[in-house]
Structure 1
């Protein structure tokens, strides 16, 4: 049994920041890349910088419909005293251009141009259609233009030598359009890291549970989260609580970039996974100061990181977001952007244990502006899969932990409200499925009061 735990609970719990740091220190980027067509690159992580070899646009162009002119020929023009220019290029009374795009503009001359057309030689500005009046070959200009006015310069969009995309970056449709604009047809992207997800527990079944049995959900949830975060996940069959079977399953999958187990990570007689990993490799952390999710364990076998998640579904999800998500970014060479957040005002108090980071599930409402305490206010988690809270590890300073937290209190009062879910147990999966996100209470706080503005982390919306 790990020296970090006893049958009564964990001797100590490592703070989140320190636990994550130990895990990421054991991760090695896989470095595998592939070139894919732009049409297949949306949502992939760019692996190599792309520099434009061309200017976009490749010429000075008209930014407005109108007439290309020399700006100096319009100086002093006004409604009362318009500048008189001669239209060249065969423009008739209807104003349509009958000339060629190569028509040059000389002193006192103008050439009809459409938006996006190449600026004729000699011109340095464009008079808008509404600022001029053509009659035959004569053009009256009712307002002066400066050099460069209504003109898109060569390289205005992208100049030759500019970086178009650089890693780490998730490619978006706008990036793909820009890559095509500079002449690229393919782009180098990171290969998805491979993840084996191994559900464990002798009580787990896939369907039709008998008394004492539970339908296995964590494997499906975690593997789909891993896919959403850019990995290629393999969802394995359930492995029973047997040390030899667990050792064989973990050893089989160390050819993956990451191994994830669900269940069997706490301190009970059937919680064998941490000891199995310790025998085959190394346990880096066992017991983390988060709620829900105390029983998270982190290790490695044959240089493959192993994330051991609790069996309670919500604790499993919290552990996956906090550890698997950043691990996949480190291994796959992905951007490590935090999940998006939304500012909201709490409708009820959220409580937290000092020294523990709490993830309180909430629902958001854009219309409810009624604040105040209600019966059944949200408290600290009580169903965490952890037999006893123990004492937090102090290897991470409170300042560092607070800096990492997404939740801050300010004097502003957002119109959107956040209501803690009624069911807060770590085993109540519906409380996560029905929530819009969670409020993160840092280790230095004992909670947030009703009416406080907070950041709601939309963990299931972003990568």
Structure 2
């Protein structure tokens, strides 16, 4: 017996339905303490204040000698002043400035003499000195909550005496590849190599998550139920393939039995067979099996959930305007994602549509972006200005 789609939803309706069902999911905050040196790209779980001033002592800013500026007031170019041992102290950059000295004269401004050094002009108080707290003052607010740490931030944290920080845990996403015909390794006739999860795991990593891939599950209800139950310790559950209306496509059935089925079918192309639901207060997403469909649904629906759970800002994708090199036709009922190549000609971009098959993974790899044709549009004309 074949499944049938529930009433399909627009992409925006599907997003809103799923987001509205995940209130408790988003409210749960998981944190961990990690070493600052491992914090690149992580998100602060609270405000961070400096533990120490930087520098935390008055510091020599140059190689040379420490002096008391008041003892150098008589130095002139036409009447050099001789500084003898006891009038100064040798120093290197970064050395503490010691009392009673309040200034540093650079080595290149010194004239070596038999009894010490000659100087040709007076030193000024705090010249070539980094006062305590010049960069960072103890208890300064360094970073607010939900700050994403950059390479420079790590240096700031360490300089202010912080070696560990509390961050939000990376949400874990579990991928369950399914299908009697799907295998790992070398295929025989009628078999297909499981490759979607390599792409999805990489996308999870790029968007602040960690991932776990289960063994390929056969198209058997009990097997699939057991696979989902094993995944309930994760934050997000993604089942790959098994979401269309075919005889062996059980994703929607599994979702209904274990939780709440919200959407089965979205008015996008490719990607229509997607399943959205909630199982154990966690998002449950069924992705179509074809690579391009998988990519579109994952980017449009899973990535926003993942980034929100990871406390990362919404992804803002660059948009380029160009001229369409040939006509694009489209059905009225779906929002269509057309893969395109970009070429720069005479200072402007040309947009060339690519193979539109949902299983054309090579065209996905070679494409530069998507041209989105909205619902209720028959397409776009050659020469039309479009956004990619």
Please state which band the TM-score falls in when normalised by the shorter chain.
Answer: 0.7 to 0.9
Partners of 2:106 and 2:132 in 1: CA distance:
20
Match of 1:139 among 110, 119, 139: 119
Residue 93 of structure 2: aligned partner:
115
Indicate whether 1:370 and 2:345 are aligned. yes
Cα offset, 1:258, TM superposition: 1.4
User: Residue 261 of structure 2 contacts residue 276 of structure 2 at CA under 8 Å; is this kept in 1?
Assistant: yes
Alignment CA distance shift 1:156-1:442 (3 Å): farther
Partner of 1:304: 282
Alignment correspondent of 2:295: 317
Aligned with 1:234 (options 182, 204, 212): 212
Identify the residue that residue 163 of structure 1 maps to in structure 2: 141
Q: Determine the structure 1 residue equivalent to 2:29.
A: 31
Query: Over residues 97-131 of structure 1, what are the superposed CA-to-partner deviations in whole Å (9 max), with x where a residue is unaligned?
Result: xx6xxxxxxxxx88765433444557666565566
TM-score (norm 1): 0.65
Match of 1:438 among 344, 359, 369: 369
Unaligned runs of 5+ in 1: 91-98, 100-108, 372-412, 456-463
Of the three residues 76, 80, 83, the one matched with 1:87 is: 83
**1:186 deviation in Å?**
2.6
Rounded to whole Å, the distance in 2 between the matches of 1:439 and 1:279 is: 36
Distance 1:72 1:359, change over 3 A: farther
The SS at the match of 2:345 is coil
Q: Distance in 1 between matches of 2:4 and 2:42?
A: 39
- The TM-score with structure 2 as length reference comes to 0.76
**Residue pair 1:134, 1:140 contacting (<8 A) in 2 also:** no
CA drift of 1:262 comes to 0.9
Would the aligned equivalents of 1:27 and 1:327 in 2 still touch at CA under 8 Å?
no
How far is 1:277 from its partner? 1.0
Work out the CA distance in 2 between the residues paired with 1:85 and 1:176.
45
- The answer on whether the counterparts of 2:341 and 2:354 sit within 8 Å (CA) in structure 1 is no
Contact 2:178/2:217 (8 A) holds in 1: yes
Partners of 2:125 and 2:373 in 1: how far apart? 57
Alignment partner, residue 387 of structure 1: none
**What are the ranges of 5 or more consecutive residues in structure 2 without an aligned counterpart?**
none
**Closer, same or farther in 2 for the Cα pair 1:418/1:326, shift >3 Å?**
farther
CA RMSD of aligned residues (A): 4.3
Question: C-alpha distance in 1, partners of 2:324/2:61?
Answer: 54
**Cα 1:68–1:293 shift into 2, 3 Å:** farther
137 and 231 in structure 1: CA distance in 2 versus 1, 3 angstrom threshold: closer
CA distance in 1, matches of 2:72, 2:256: 82
Deviation string 1:198-255 (CA, Å, 9 cap, x unpaired) is 1122332223434433222223332343344443422122223344443333233223
| Residues 147 and 247 of structure 1: CA distance in aligned 2, closer, same or farther (over 3 Å) | same
2:262 aligned residue (274, 284, 288): 284
Number of aligned residues: 380
SS at match of 1:233: strand
Is the Cα contact below 8 Å between 1:85 and 1:110 reproduced in 2?
Answer: no
Distance 1:451 1:114 in 2: 66
SS of alignment partner, residue 198 of structure 2: helix
3-state DSSP of counterpart to 2:261? strand
Q: 1-side partners of 2:145 and 2:333: how far apart?
A: 36
1: distance between equivalents of 2:350 and 2:249?
36
Alpha-carbon shift at residue 48 of structure 1 (Å): 4.0
Distance 2:233 2:153 in 1: 33
Aligned residues of 2:177 and 2:197 also touching (Cα < 8 A): yes
The answer (yes or no) to whether the contact 2:59–2:97 under 8 Å persists in 1 is yes
Aligned to 1:54: 52
Q: 1:3 to 1:145 in 2, by over 3 A?
A: farther
